[in-house]
């Protein structure tokens, strides 16, 4: 077999490998979000991904490796979105508002992510995985950076940046994980005010957080 005849097969194999990894990660995200880490089996992941269970071990080492890869990929996606959507600093209050809105919207747009994170926090496991823990700290440091830029200019009153971060993340996660029950209440009990879309909510969260931290002299 000549080199020229063998070379087209390599890109095809790479594409197939990438497609298999993507299917395993998508299946894992759905199942981990629905059933948690312990309640999700490699057999279930392989079946949903239409792949051989051995492929999980081949690409990710084990179930924990797959879980970690999914969490890290989602965090990287959110961080990339923040970098792409946030403009160069102009006004610290507006900049913080943009960050809150984009960050909350990015979390809500991946419904599996809040469920996985919430389950991990409840089980006390998330910070034992060094890769995801390190990336999650980037979220906190980004919140701190935007807050401190405004505080240094006297635009924000003194608050604990960590508490501010928890307020933003907690609100976004709660909105995401309660979406189905709100829809059910709206549909079956006629309480239309329970049906809240993401865009109005993230704008409301932006206004609420800013009103809480903005200096009274501003």
Q: What is the mean pLDDT of the chain?
A: 86
Structural domains in the chain? 11-61 (1.10.10.60), 72-213 (1.10.357.10)
Percent of the chain with pLDDT over 90: 54
pTM, two decimal places: 0.81
Q: Residues 101-108: what's their mean pLDDT?
A: 93
Residue 110 clears pLDDT 70, i.e. is over it: yes
pLDDT at 12 over 70: no
Average pLDDT over residues 59-64: 92
Alpha helix stretches (DSSP H) within the chain: 3-6, 9-35, 42-49, 53-60, 63-85, 92-109, 112-123, 130-152, 161-177, 179-189, 198-213
Closest by CA to 109, choosing from 138, 74, 71, is 74
Q: pLDDT tens for residues 120-137?
A: 777 766 667 787 888 888
Pick the closest to residue 143 from 90, 202, 209, 72 (CA basis): 209
pLDDT of residue 194: 47
Strand partners, 214: 156
CA distance 94 to 181: 33
Cα 98 to Cα 168: distance, rounded to the nearest angstrom = 12
Other beta carbons within 10 Å of 44: 17
């Amino acid at each position: 077999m000549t080199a020229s005849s063998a070379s087209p097969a390599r890109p095809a194999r790479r594409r197939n490998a990438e497609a298999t990894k993507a299917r395993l990660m998508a299946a894992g995200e759905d199942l981990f979000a629905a059933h948690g880490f312990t309640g999700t089996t490699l057999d279930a992941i392989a079946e949903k991904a239409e792949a051989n269970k051995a492929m999980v071990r081949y690409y990710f080492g084990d179930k924990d490796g797959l879980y970690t890869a999914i969490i890290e990929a989602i965090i990287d996606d959110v961080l990339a979105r923040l970098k792409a959507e946030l403009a160069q600093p102009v006004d610290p209050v507006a900049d913080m508002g943009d960050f809150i809105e984009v960050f909350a919207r990015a979390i809500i747009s991946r419904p599996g992510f809040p469920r996985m994170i919430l389950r991990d926090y409840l089980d006390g496991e998330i910070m034992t995985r060094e890769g995801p823990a390190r990336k999650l700290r980037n979220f906190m440091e980004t919140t701190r950076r935007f807050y401190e830029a405004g505080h240094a200019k006297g635009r924000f009153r003194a608050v604990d940046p960590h508490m501010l971060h928890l307020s933003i993340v907690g609100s976004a996660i709660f909105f995401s994980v309660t979406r189905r029950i709100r829809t059910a209440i709206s549909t079956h009990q006629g309480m239309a005010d329970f049906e809240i879309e993401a865009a109005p909510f993230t704008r409301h969260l932006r206004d609420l957080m800013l009103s809480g931290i903005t200096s009274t002299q501003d």
